[in-house]
Amino acid sequence: MGGTDVTDGWDGRQPGGYPAPAAGPAFGSPPQGTQSAGGGGASWPGSPPQGPQGAGGTGSPWWSDALADPWRDPYAPAAVVVSAAPADPASEPEPVSDPDAPGRPGLRQVVLVSLITALLAGSLGSALTYAFLHGGATAPRLGAQSGQAPALAQRKPESLAGVAEKVLPSVVTIRMASLGGVSEGSGFVVSGDGHIVTNDHVIAGGTGKATVIFNDGSSAPATVVGHDPESDLAVVKATRTGLRPVEFGDSDGLAVGDPVLAIGSPLSLANTVTAGIVSALDRTMQAGEPGGPTRYYAAIQTDAAVNHGNSGGPLVDGAGRVVGVNSTIKSLVADGQEAGNIGLAFAIPINQAKRITQDIIGTGKARRTVIGAQVGGTGVTSGGVRLNAVEPAGPAASAGLKAGDVVLRLDGHPLTEPTDLVALVRKYAPGSVVAVEYRRGSTRQNASVTLAADAK
């Protein structure tokens, strides 16, 4: 076939380029003289094929013209076999680069990689900075992590904060103009139409015109409705309606040790709240300025901080109910000097103050409760208060008491000074019945006295 031979089912090779002959009998010798200068020719069965000869006399690798074999099975498999040629450096083909193989990056790739690297580095730096500034792993966490707010921080209605929040909108500051300047005190709203309770000494000596400053900072003019110097109580009315009145408590139901709050404007510091406890009950007080009326009341003693300017403000219990009117304090300074809080403050019981307030609003003046007897200037050495005189047909005389009797107890309260009897009697409303223990000579006796109102 001129240089192309096809194997026919086998692939044998002999040294020199000839394949090994198949085993079997030979049918004859090949004809002679069939070779040409170009080489080529047919092969006979049983004889070695004669392939074309190259210039070097080497046999052609295509040694079998099997396709021209008339006895070849056309369905037998065939394969083309090419022998490996000796390596010749001069004949090496030109190397071809693989387009899929990794190569040297170009300028665009270098710029793109640099940009992405810079962005990633900036993001990482920002993240680390945020973590450091916001308490990340590199900074200590300050304080313990809190869960639900503690009970005290929730400001329940019965807490001190809850009580203050309830009462403060009803507490006011009162400024009264007078010839000597402006006096200032506190007060609290007792009716929605503008009635306000305060101390008599807050408005005493004034022109009758006052200014009321409310909890929210607003103000309104007010006029004096009435006052009672001996009980140290007064009522003014602001020209404003829709106010929020306080809730009254029961001062007779207090016990020593009960928590209380004092609310007012001490030293012009409006809306001030101080806390304390009830230190004592029925502490008889005699107070008043030189040349002025003498005031008597059986006070609620407390250790809540009370100073000048608290006068007339409310004393409230743990439920936010007013149980007293802050009125006076005890001090260690000499007369004429400015007194300050030392933990001894006194309030008028609200049961007494409420009764007098109703009298003032209803009639313009207050009734004074009396027992119908006069007492001496000093107490008795052995205890008690001696009656110097007894009014005929008065409460004491009606109960069988006589001049010279020594009253030892009034409604269970021991008496040591004349002030005790006057202050305790004025605590009760006219018509109240009180138990009196007294001594006549060496005999102790008991009587029930129905107190009355003074005719004034």
The one catalytic residue among 311, 327, 359, 405:
311
Question: Is there a catalytic annotation at residue 195?
Answer: no
Cα 193 to Cα 361: distance, rounded to the nearest angstrom? 12
Contact criterion met (CB below 8 Å) for 301 and 278: yes
Instruction: Name residue 325's beta-bridge partners.
Output: 314, 348
Cα 168 to Cα 172: distance, rounded to the nearest angstrom? 8
The DSSP line for 238-300 is ES--S--PPPB--GGG--TT-EEEEEE-GGG-TTEEEEEEEEEEEEEEEE--TTS--EEEEEE
Which 8-state DSSP code applies to residue 52?
Answer: P
Kindly report the number of other CB atoms within 10 A of residue 40's CB atom: 16
The one catalytic residue among 186, 201, 282, 359:
201
The one catalytic residue among 5, 65, 228, 232:
232
CA triple 99-103-107, angle to 5 deg:
115
User: What 3-state DSSP class applies to 427?
Assistant: helix
Instruction: Name residue 53's beta-bridge partners.
Output: 59
Residue 272 in tokens: 């001030």
Which 8-state DSSP code applies to residue 365?
Answer: S
The DSSP line for 71-136 is T--TTS------PPPPP-GGGPPPP---TTS-----HHHHHHHHHHHHHHHHHHHHHHHHHHHTT-
Question: Is there a catalytic annotation at residue 413?
Answer: no
Question: Is there a catalytic annotation at residue 232?
Answer: yes
Residue 264 in tokens: 């007012």
CA-nearest of 213, 241, 240, 210 to 225 is 210
Cα 390 to Cα 398: distance, rounded to the nearest angstrom? 10
Pairing of strands 259-264, 233-238: unpaired
Kindly report the number of other CB atoms within 10 A of residue 439's CB atom: 17
Which residues does the annotation mark as catalytic? 201, 232, 311
